Structure 1
C-alpha cells in the first residue's frame, strides 16, 4: 500500500468514498458536494492536496488538506473503504495531510466533525488534535465538533 497525491482519474473515487460514509451517517450537505463534485477546483487549484491510499489498482482511502489562509489548513474528507478499515490507513492518510500542511507553512490544522463519528474522533485525539469551541463560521451545518492541531 502506498499514499499518492491527487490525480484527475481518482476524482470519482474521492467522491464515492466520501458520499458512502456521509450518506451512511446522514451527514451529507451542499458544502460536501462542492468538494466532492469538483475536487480539482475546490481543493487542488487553491493549493490544497488530496491523498489516496492505493494498493495495486484498488483505492483504499482518501484525505484532503485544504488551505484556509493565515497559516491554517483544514483536514477534511477522510474516508477509508469498509474492507480496508482497522489497518491504520486512516492514520497514514491523516499524517500525509498534516505533513502537507506543515510543508506549506501551516501553523495549525483544523477539522470539523460530528459526534456520530466516534472512531474518527478517537483517531484525531490520538494524533494530538484537541477539542476547541465551535467557531461562528463553521463550513458544515452538521458539524458539532471542532478540533485543532498546533504544528
Structure 2
C-alpha cells in the first residue's frame, strides 16, 4: 500500500519517552476492545525490564521529520530461542498506511537477527485486519497445545506461528 508521505522509520525502544508511547498506544486499543489485565499493565509499565532485559525488543514506527511514534510491536523472548510477537499497535490516525505490515516485517527481521528458532503470537478474532496481516507475513494457525507457554492470555482465541 503506498504511503501518502515517506514511510515511517522503525527503530528499537531507546528512552522513557519511547516506553510511554508504547504504553499509551497499547492501552488505547486493549481498553477499547478488551479489558486491560495485570500482565498487560506489568509489561506495558516496564518494557525495559520485562521485554528488553530478558533478550527481547520493542520496535517503534516513527514519522519522518516529527519522529512521533505512530506504531509499535514487542518481541518477547522465551527459552530455546522462542519469541512472541506481541503488543502490536498503530495509532488510529495512522492506520491504513501500511505501518502494521512494516512493523511485522521489521519484527520478523529482528527475531532472525536475535537467532530465533520460533516466532509465535496470540490474537483475537475481533482483530480481522491484524489476522490478515499476520497471514500475509507467513503466520499459520496453531492449537493452544503448541504454545511454548502454559498460562497464556484468555482473550487470545487465535494462535499463530511463523512457518
Same fold per TM (> 0.5)? Answer: yes
* 1:145 and 2:153 matched: no
Query: Shift of the alpha carbon at 1:27?
Result: 3.9
C-alpha deviations, 1:1-41, integer Å up to 9, x for none? 21111112210110000000001112421221111011100
When residues 138 and 130 of structure 1 are mapped into structure 2, their CA distance, relative to the original with a 3 A threshold, is farther
Which residue in 2 is equivalent to 1:6?
13
1:1-151 paired onto structure 2 within 5 Å: 1-8=8-15, 9-55=17-63, 56-135=66-145, 137-150=150-163
* Matched position secondary structure for 2:144: coil
Structure 2: unaligned runs, 5 residues or longer:
1-7
Distance in 2 of aligned mates of 1:33 and 1:64 = 14
Aligned length: 150
Query: Shift of the alpha carbon at 1:81?
Result: 0.3
RMSD: 1.3
Structure 1: unaligned runs, 5 residues or longer:
none
* Matched position secondary structure for 1:76: strand
C-alpha deviations, 1:86-126, integer Å up to 9, x for none? 11101111111111111111121100111111111111011
Distance in 1 of aligned mates of 2:152 and 2:21 = 23
Larger radius of gyration: 2
